[in-house]
A and B are shown apart, each in its own frame.
Chain A
Amino acid sequence: MKNAKKISEYVEGIFDQYGMDKYQFFFEYNEEKDAVCDIPLFPNGEPDAKTLDRISTHLGITQEEILAMDPAAAERYWVKYAFFPLYNEFVDVWRWHAQFRGDKPSYEELLLNAIFGGDRSLHRKRYNLNRIRKRMIDKLKEIDQIIPGTFHENAEITNFKVKTETIVSFPQCTAMVRSFLGMVERLKILFYRAIKEELPEEDRNELNFLASYLNATDTFLPSTAVTYDTVRKLRTVYEEEQKSDFYDYVRIRSHFAYPLWRCQEFFDDMGLVQEYENIFPETKGELRQFAMLISKFYCEFIWSDAKPITFPLEQEQELLELDLMFGEDDLPLSERVKEPTHIYIDKTPEEIGDDGKYVKRILDATAVSSKGGLSVPRRKRVSGAEYHDAQVRRLDALRKDGDK
């Protein structure tokens, strides 16, 4: 029992070190409690073969190493890929510098300055919210000339909020992204090799780890990671399909709370940006929104005379049906929340400050591709029937292999 606890701590430490999702290992959804609850790693209180196999596959370390709580095994991929230590550093830098505040000092700053004197700021960026508000009113009046009704002459602006982003500097960014792309490349190599031949244990483990860490799943089985065993079971299907693009077989899903593109140096090498985009096609859309927020303020407010929120007829009908289903009365229109207004206000050169030289670069990269923006890789679109057939072929192959 004591041993199980120590092994469990060792395993949890690896999950934490790499920032991997612990769901279904250390916690899962409990239907009765309707909440996510902690669960023991070993359900019987002792290390069992089934759980050890799951952990071993997920983390890419052998069962013997898990039982021996081998520190070198825990560090294996941390040492192999510079990405991991660099990403940790990057997150720390980002958390510290990317915050912004209004021009009034926070309580922490007041306290700090009362103790130590001076005028310390805990935040890299400070903006004068009154000036932003004034510029927003001017902008509303300007747009009112094009879209009458944008500016409400006799109403008050309430619930005024401003959202923006800054872009931090992380000089090791290129090395971090290159190492990440190296992991993806290694996954590809091991994946194709596993289709053709049996791999030695070291490579099997690495493929397993990369499949877990990169959230790499079969394109047609979105919850099936392309671990070594899965690839071997599906190899005949893969060979028969003869797809030319790796991403027709495998999907990689970004899971970063702090995406790698959140730093200036990412945009020093647009070839690198495009390589990243080729792995994660959704990046361009995310980058575009980020570009809007580093070059502008996203203002939100509610006009005092705003109308309550309404939805298109179809959605209103759905809401009504939901109310009926739960036995609730439909909320009268007058009691609904009022419609908020959103508008972007350009930052001045002073407000953009050091971010300036990167802002244009990012806005250009996220513009339409016909005007020089990044191109979004075209993933092959398949019809519902084709998708279904591909899925059945895979499930059959997995089942057949399981019957052996």
Chain B
Amino acid sequence: MSELSKKQLAGKNLRRLIKESGRTQQDFADEFGTDIRNVNRYINEGISKVEVIQEIAEFFKVDFGELFMDE
């Protein structure tokens, strides 16, 4: 699987985690402490930075690898 698709997978899983937590993307932005534009970018373009994925995993209390699950 190419790096680009890994990025996209992380974005797709972020969207799933937000939905599963019963939150909107704006709620997530507020709780996580980031701008809604960043959240939109993560979801639509993917997440390439390892440290951001680590932070998201910690926030949702999931394993790092779960952000790369392909259903």
Is A397 engaged at the interface, CB distance under 8 Å to the other chain? Answer: no
Is A249 engaged at the interface, CB distance under 8 Å to the other chain? Answer: no
B6's nearest neighbour on chain A, judged by CB, is: A147
A342 touches B50 (CB 8 A): yes
Report the minimum CB–CB distance from B34 to chain A (whole Å). Answer: 7
B48's nearest neighbour on chain A, judged by CB, is: A147
Tell me which residues from 30 to 50 in chain A have a Cβ below 8 Å from any Cβ of chain B.
none
Report the minimum CB–CB distance from B9 to chain A (whole Å). Answer: 10
Known interface pairs A366-B59, A367-B61. Does A285 touch B51 (Cβ–Cβ under 8 Å)? no
Is A149 engaged at the interface, CB distance under 8 Å to the other chain? Answer: yes
Q: Which of B23, B27, B50 has the largest count of A CB atoms less than 10 A from its CB?
A: B50
Q: Mark B30-65, 1 if CB is under 8 A from A, else 0.
A: 111110000000000000011100110011110011
A370 touches B33 (CB 8 A): no
Cα distance, A169 to B42, chains bound together (Å): 37
Is B71 engaged at the interface, CB distance under 8 Å to the other chain? Answer: no
Is A292 engaged at the interface, CB distance under 8 Å to the other chain? Answer: yes
Known interface pairs A147-B3, A366-B59, A367-B61. Does A288 touch B32 (Cβ–Cβ under 8 Å)? yes
B64 touches A281 (CB 8 A): no
Q: Which of A284, A289, A341 contacts B50 (CB 8 A)?
A: A341
Report the minimum CB–CB distance from B32 to chain A (whole Å). Answer: 6
Report the minimum CB–CB distance from A341 to chain B (whole Å). Answer: 7
With a cutoff of 8 Å between Cβ atoms, the chain B residues found around residue A288 in the complex are: 32-33, 55, 59
Q: Mark A143-155, 1 if CB is under 8 A from B, else 0.
A: 1001111100000
Q: Which of B27, B33, B54 contacts A285 (CB 8 A)?
A: B33
With a cutoff of 8 Å between Cβ atoms, the chain A residues found around residue B55 in the complex are: 288, 292, 344
With a cutoff of 8 Å between Cβ atoms, the chain A residues found around residue B27 in the complex are: 376
Tell me which residues from 289 to 333 in chain A have a Cβ below 8 Å from any Cβ of chain B.
289, 291-292, 298
Is A112 engaged at the interface, CB distance under 8 Å to the other chain? Answer: no
Is A93 engaged at the interface, CB distance under 8 Å to the other chain? Answer: no
With a cutoff of 8 Å between Cβ atoms, the chain A residues found around residue B33 in the complex are: 282, 284-286, 288-289
Report the minimum CB–CB distance from B65 to chain A (whole Å). Answer: 6
Q: Which of B6, B28, B30, B60 contacts A371 (CB 8 A)?
A: B60
B6 touches A344 (CB 8 A): no
Is A373 engaged at the interface, CB distance under 8 Å to the other chain? Answer: yes
Known interface pairs A368-B21, A370-B21, A370-B22. Does A343 touch B31 (Cβ–Cβ under 8 Å)? no
Known interface pairs A285-B34, A288-B32, A368-B23. Does A363 touch B58 (Cβ–Cβ under 8 Å)? yes
With a cutoff of 8 Å between Cβ atoms, the chain A residues found around residue B6 in the complex are: 146-148
B20's nearest neighbour on chain A, judged by CB, is: A370
B31 touches A376 (CB 8 A): yes
Q: Which of B3, B54, B61, B68 contacts A368 (CB 8 A)?
A: B61
Is A158 engaged at the interface, CB distance under 8 Å to the other chain? Answer: no
Is A369 engaged at the interface, CB distance under 8 Å to the other chain? Answer: yes
Tell me which residues from 362 to 383 in chain A have a Cβ below 8 Å from any Cβ of chain B.
363, 366-371, 373, 376
Known interface pairs A281-B30, A368-B60, A370-B21. Does A344 touch B65 (Cβ–Cβ under 8 Å)? no
B31's nearest neighbour on chain A, judged by CB, is: A376
With a cutoff of 8 Å between Cβ atoms, the chain A residues found around residue B49 in the complex are: 342
With a cutoff of 8 Å between Cβ atoms, the chain B residues found around residue A291 in the complex are: 58
Known interface pairs A281-B30, A289-B33. Does A371 touch B61 (Cβ–Cβ under 8 Å)? yes
A143 touches B51 (CB 8 A): no
Q: Which of A286, A363, A371 contacts B21 (CB 8 A)?
A: A371
A344 touches B51 (CB 8 A): yes
Q: Which of B23, B34, B58, B64 contacts A370 (CB 8 A)?
A: B23
Sample (23) of A-B pairs whose CB atoms are under 8 Å apart = A146-B6, A146-B64, A147-B50, A149-B3, A284-B31, A284-B33, A285-B31, A285-B34, A288-B33, A288-B59, A292-B58, A341-B50, A342-B49, A343-B54, A363-B58, A366-B59, A367-B58, A368-B28, A369-B23, A369-B31, A370-B21, A370-B23, A371-B21
Q: Which 7 A-B pairs have the closest CB atoms?
A: A285-B33, A370-B21, A342-B51, A376-B30, A344-B54, A368-B21, A147-B6
